[in-house]
């Protein structure tokens, strides 16, 4: 199994290392010619406005969007979740718009307000796993068909719709592999 990680900026290496530790191949994705080679794609954390601009500049936005709508499994962590969302609070624009959620950027405050919490997410693991939030968004609206996977401090921070997984937090920054295992299992 070959997993692509969108590699413009952000937490690319950490995702690649987790995927490789689980015995799958990981490749850096920088242009749309590579999209046919992969079985799933991870959109990492970083800065969503920068990654959104780079998706436009490299002309990847539309081909990637079509691939995901046609069933390519996709997982967005943090900024990656913002790129996948249908709507971004307070903004007139969205990016890939492939999952019916609204998100609030920087919803917990600034970098200094970053935190770690633990939660039991039955869909993903039988025991509590660490969740790392770094200038994280949360989900303010979930479409009817979108499954809520985790709520922290009364806000939805993980969800799934068919082939699309979104998390506000960063499993790749922990030593826990459950979310990466879950994504491979989805594929």
Contacts to ligand GLN by CB under 6 A: 45-48, 78-79, 82, 105-106, 134-135
Q: Which residues are CB-neighbours of 2 under 8 A, at least 6 positions away?
A: 24, 25, 26, 27, 37, 38, 39
Nearer to ligand GLN, 1 or 116 (CB): 116
CA proximity to 130, closest of 89, 169, 86: 169
Provide the minimum distance between the beta carbon of 108 and ligand GLN in the complex, in angstroms, as a whole number.
10
Provide the minimum distance between the beta carbon of 44 and ligand GLN in the complex, in angstroms, as a whole number.
8
Q: Measured between alpha carbons, how far is 182 from 187 in angstroms, rounded to an integer?
A: 9
Helices (H), 8-164: 12-21, 48-57, 61-69, 79-84
Positions marked active-site: 78, 170, 172
The residues facing 130 across adjacent strands are 118
Provide the minimum distance between the beta carbon of 17 and ligand GLN in the complex, in angstroms, as a whole number.
17
């Amino acid at each position: 199994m070959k997993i692509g990680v969108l590699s413009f900026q952000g937490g690319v290496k950490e995702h690649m290392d987790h995927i490789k530790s689980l015995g799958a191949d990981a490749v850096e994705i920088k242009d749309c010619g590579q999209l046919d080679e992969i079985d799933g794609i991870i959109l990492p954390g970083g800065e969503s406005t920068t990654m959104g601009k780079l998706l436009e500049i490299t002309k990847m936005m539309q081909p990637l969007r079509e691939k995901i709508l046609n069933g390519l499994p996709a997982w967005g962590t943090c900024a990656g979740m913002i790129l996948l969302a249908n709507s971004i609070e307070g903004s007139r624009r969205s990016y890939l718009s492939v999952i019916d959620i609204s998100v609030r950027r920087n919803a917990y405050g600034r970098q200094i307000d970053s935190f770690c919490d633990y939660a039991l997410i039955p869909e993903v693991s039988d025991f509590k796993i660490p969740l790392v939030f770094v200038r994280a968004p949360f989900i303010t609206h979930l479409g009817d068909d979108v499954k809520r996977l985790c709520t922290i401090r009364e806000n939805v921070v993980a969800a799934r719709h068919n082939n699309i997984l979104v998390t506000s937090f960063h499993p790749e920054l922990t030593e826990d592999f459950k979310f990466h295992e879950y994504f491979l299992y989805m594929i």
